[in-house]
Amino acid sequence: MPTFHVLLALSAAHCLNDLLQSVITAVYPMLKADLGLNFAQIGLVTLVYQLAASIFQPVVGYAFDRRPFVRSLPAGMCSTSIGIVLFAFSSTLPGILLAVFMVGVGSATLHPEASRITSLAGHERRGFAQSVFQVGGNFGGSVGPLLVALIVAPRGRQYVVVFLLFACACFAVMRPICRWYRSYLERMKHETRTAVHHRLPLSRRRTLFAIAVIVVLIFSKYIYMASLSSYYTFYLIDKFGVTVSQSQIFLFIFVVSTAAGTLVGGPVGDRYGRKLVIWVSILGTAPFSMLMPHVSLALTAVMSFCAGFTLSSAFPAILLYAQELLPTKLGMISGLFFGFAFGVGGVASAMLGDFADRYGIEAVYNFCAYMPLLGAVAAFLPDLRKKDI
C-alpha cells in the first residue's frame, strides 16, 4: 500500500515549491516598471529561469540516481529561498538574472527528486501517487499569482520576501519525507547484497523508440496547453468581448479542469494500463480542441474544461510509463520529462505569441486545435502492462 503520509507531504512540498516559482512571472509587471526593463530584457529573464529549471532537471536526476542524497529536497529549497530574497531586493538586471537562476535550480532539484520519492512511496499504486503529487503543484501554481496580487502588488516588489514564510513551511513539510527516504535507503543497502539486478522491460532499441514516441506526445500536449494557459484570456476578450475579470473566471474553470484531470489520470493508469490512458487522453482531446474555435462563449467554457481535463490526465501516465522503461533511472527520467515539458511549454508560448502578432489570436486556436491528433502515435508504444514494475 502507498505510504500516505509521505505522499501528502510530497504533494504539499510540490504545492509550496510551485507557489514560490509562480511568484517570478506574476511580478513581471512590477519588475519591468521598477527597473525600466524592455520586453527583450523580460524575455532574457524568462530564458535564464527556464534554462535553469529545465536543463538542470535531468542532470540533477542522474546525479542523485548514482549517489542518493537524503536532504536533496531541502537543498533545492535553500536555492529557491536565496533566489526569492535576491528577487525582492535586487536593483540591477544581473542581480535579477542570478535570482531567477537560483529559483530555477531549486525547481530543477525538487521535481526529479520528489517524483522519484513519490514513485517509491507509491509502491504498487504509483499512478495514484503521481496524481496526488502533481495536483499539489497545480494548486500551488494557481494560488501564487493570487497571493502576489493580494500581498505584493499593493505594497511593492520588496514584499516578495514575505513568501519566505512559504519556504519555511516547505522545509517543515520536507522533514517526514527525509526521514522516510533515509530509512528506505538504509533498507535498500541491506537488501543490495541479495538483490537481483534490474532488467529493462524492453530491448535498448525498443526503449529508445518508445522514448521518442513519448517525446512526440509531450510536444503535442504542451503546445496545446501553452495556447490555453498563456493566451486563453486574450482569445476570450478578442472573440467574445468579455471583460478582463470575466476572462479570469473562464481561465479558473480551465485550471480546475487540469487539476481534476491530473488527479484522475494516475489511478486510471494503475487500473487499465498507462498506454491506454496516454492514447485516450491526448487523442481524446482532439474533438474538444477542434470544436472550441467554432462554438459560443458558453460552449467554449465547456470545451475548454473537457479539453483541460482530458489532456491533463496524460502526464502522470506518461511519466510512469517512462519510469517503467528505465526502472533504475527514476530521477534522471523524471528530470528529463519534467524539464522537457517545461521547456516545450516555454518555447511554445513564445512562438505562439509571435504567431498571434502576425495572424491574430483566433488563428492560434485554429492551428493548435489539431495538435492533439498527434496522440495517435501512442498506438506505437509497446504495451508494458504485463511487465509493470
What are the CA-CA distances from residue 263 to residues 66, 216, 220 (Å)? Answer: 31, 23, 21
- List Cβ neighbours of 87 (8 Å cut-off, separation of 6 or more): 23, 24, 27, 96, 99, 100, 103, 157, 160
Cell numbers at residue 252, please?
479558473
Q: What is the pLDDT of residue 73?
A: 95
Nearest CA to 263 out of 118, 127, 111 is that of 127
HSE value, Cβ hemisphere, 13 Å, CA-based, for 353: 10
Q: Which three cell numbers stand for residue 214?
A: 513519448
The full DSSP string for 120-168 is: HHHTT-HHHHHHHHHHHHHHHHHHHHHHIIIIITTT-GGGGGGGHHHHH
Q: What is the mean pLDDT of each run of 10 residues along the chain (389 residues)?
A: 85 94 83 82 80 82 86 95 96 94 93 88 83 86 82 90 97 96 86 56 88 88 82 86 79 83 86 88 94 95 94 86 82 76 72 82 90 92 64
**pLDDT at site 2:** 63
Residue 198 pLDDT: 58
Nearest C-alpha neighbor of 338 from the set 61, 49, 46: 61
Q: Give the pLDDT score at 82.
A: 97
The terminus-to-terminus CA distance of the chain in angstroms comes to 14
Task: Bin 360: left if φ > 0, else alpha if -120 < ψ < 50, else beta.
Answer: left
What pLDDT is recorded for position 191?
Answer: 65
**Residue 196 neighbours by CB under 8 Å, 6+ apart:** none
Distance CA 186, CA 181 (A): 9
Instruction: Give the pLDDT confidence score for residue 219 in this predicted structure.
Output: 86
Ramachandran bin of 36, using left for φ above 0, alpha for ψ from -120 to 50, beta for the remaining angles: left
* 154-169 burial: b if 16+ Cβ within 10 Å, else e: eeebebbeebeebbee
CB 49 within 8 A of CB 101: yes
Round to whole Å and give the CA distance between 389 and 275: 14
Q: How far apart are CA 143 and CA 130, in angstroms?
A: 20
Give the chain's domains with CATH numbers: 1-195 (1.20.1250.20), 203-389 (1.20.1250.20)
Are 142 and 18 in contact by the 8 Å Cβ rule? The answer is no
